[in-house]
Structure 1
Amino acid sequence: MDLFEYQGKQFFAQYGIATSPGGIAETVDEAVRQADLAGYPAVIKAQVQVGGRGKAGGIKIANNQDEARSYAGAILGMDIKGHLVKRVWVEHSSDIAKEYYASYTLDRGAKKYLLMLSAQGGVEIEDVAKSAPDAIVYVHIDPVDGISNDQIREAVTGAKIDPEAFEGVVEVLEKLYGAFVKGDADLAEINPLILNTQGLVHALDAKVSLDDNATWRHPEWADWALTVEYDGRERLAKEKGLNYIGLSGTVGIIANGAGLAMSTLDVVNQVGGSAANFLDLGGGASADTMSAALEVINTDENVKVVLVNIFGGIVRCDEVANGIIEALGRVKLTAPIVIRLDGTNAEVAREILAPRESENLIVESTMLGAARRAVEIANKGA
Structure 2
Amino acid sequence: MPYKVLVVDDSSFFQMRLKEIISEHQDLQVVGIASNGQEAIELEEELRPDIITMDYEMPFMDGVSAVRAIMAKRKIPILMLSSMTYEGARITLEALDAGAVDFMPKNFAEVSKSSEGLKKRLHEKLLTFLKGSSFQPAATSVRPKPAVDTRPSLRSTPSAAPLSRGGADAAPVAPSKSSARFKGKLKIVVIGASTGGPVAITDIITKLPANFPVPIVIVQHMPENFTKAFSERLDRQSQLSVVEAENSMRIECGKVYVAPGGKQLMFDRNGSSIKIVPGDERVNYKPSVDIAYASAANVFRNSVLGIVLTGMGADGCEGARLLKQSGSYIWGQDQASSVVYGMPAAVANARLTDAVIPLSSIAEKMISDV
**TM norm structure 2:** 0.24
The structure that has the greater radius of gyration is 1
